[in-house]
Amino acid sequence: MMKSETQEQLKAVLSGLPEKYVEPFVSAVEFDRLAGGNLPHSLIIESLRPALKKLGVPRFGTPTPLRLFCEPFEDILFSGPVFPKSPGRVSRLSIAPVWDWLSELIPDAHKSLYDLIVKQILSRQEEKLTAATGELHRMSANALSTIFLSYEIGTPEYVAMAKRLGSEAILEDARDIAAVLTIAAYAHRLKEQFPRPILKLDEDDFVFIRAIYDELCERYPNQSKYLVYLLMGRMKKPWHVLSVLPVLCRSKNEDKIRESELGEVGDQIFSDIEQLAGEIERTDFLKRGPAKSLNLLTQFVEASRGITRQMSLKRDGPWGKRLFESRKRVAQAMEHQLNRSVDTIISAFPTVKMGAFGDTGAHRPDLTEAPNSDDVEHAAKIAIFIDRTRTLAADAAFGKHHKEASSRVEQFLLGYGADMITEVRAGNNDTIRNLQAHLEATVKLTGLVVGEEEADLFLRRATTAARN
Closest CA to 198 of 225, 229, 236: 236
Say what percent of the chain tops pLDDT 90: 54
Highest mean pLDDT among 98-102, 293-297, 447-451: 98-102
Positive or negative CA dihedral for 38, 42, 43, 47? positive
Highest mean pLDDT among 25-29, 196-200, 310-314, 358-362: 196-200
Domain definitions of the chain by residue range:
4-62, 66-239, 271-467
Give the pLDDT score at 359: 47
Give the pLDDT score at 288: 59
The whole-angstrom separation of Cα 130 and Cα 408 is: 66
pLDDT confidence tier of residue 3, bands split at 50, 70 and 90: low
Give the pLDDT score at 277: 94
164 or 290: which carries more pLDDT confidence? Answer: 164
460 or 36: which carries more pLDDT confidence? Answer: 460
pLDDT confidence tier of residue 316, bands split at 50, 70 and 90: confident
Lowest mean pLDDT among 1-10, 32-41, 115-124, 351-360: 351-360
The whole-angstrom separation of Cα 164 and Cα 171 is: 9
Query: Using one digit for the tens of pLDDT, what is the confidence trace for 109-167?
Result: 999 999 999 888 888 888 999 999 999 999 999 999 999 988 888 899 899 999 999 99
293 or 178: which carries more pLDDT confidence? Answer: 178
Give the pLDDT score at 60: 43
Closest CA to 145 of 173, 119, 174, 168: 174
Q: What is the mean pLDDT of the chain?
A: 87
Give backbone dihedrals phi and psi of 234, rounded to 5 degrees, phi first. Answer: -90, -5
pLDDT confidence tier of residue 41, bands split at 50, 70 and 90: low
Query: Using one digit for the tens of pLDDT, what is the confidence trace for 189-238?
Result: 999 999 999 999 999 999 999 999 999 999 999 999 999 999 999 999 99
Query: Using one digit for the tens of pLDDT, what is the confidence trace for 244-258?
Result: 999 999 998 888 999
Q: H helices of 234-359, where?
A: 245-249, 254-259, 263-282, 285-288, 290-310, 318-347
Q: Tell me whether the omega of the peptide bond preceding residue 197 falls within 30 degrees of 0, making it cis.
A: yes
Yes or no: say if 98 and 161 are a contact pair by the CB < 8 Å rule: no
Give the pLDDT score at 429: 72
Closest CA to 405 of 340, 453, 325: 340
Q: Which residues of 337-351 are buried (b: 16+ CB within 10 A; e: fewer)?
A: bbeebbebbbebbbb
290 or 440: which carries more pLDDT confidence? Answer: 440
Give the pLDDT score at 2: 59
Give the pLDDT score at 227: 97
Specify the 3-state DSSP secondary structure of 464.
helix
Yes or no: say if 161 and 147 are a contact pair by the CB < 8 Å rule: yes
Lowest mean pLDDT among 19-28, 296-305, 391-400: 19-28
Query: Using one digit for the tens of pLDDT, what is the confidence trace for 45-88?
Result: 777 777 766 666 554 456 889 999 999 999 999 986 656 788 89
Query: Using one digit for the tens of pLDDT, what is the confidence trace for 339-379?
Result: 888 999 999 999 887 654 444 446 688 888 899 999 999 99
- Radius of gyration of the chain from Cα atoms? 30
Average pLDDT over every residue of 428-441: 84
Give the pLDDT score at 426: 80
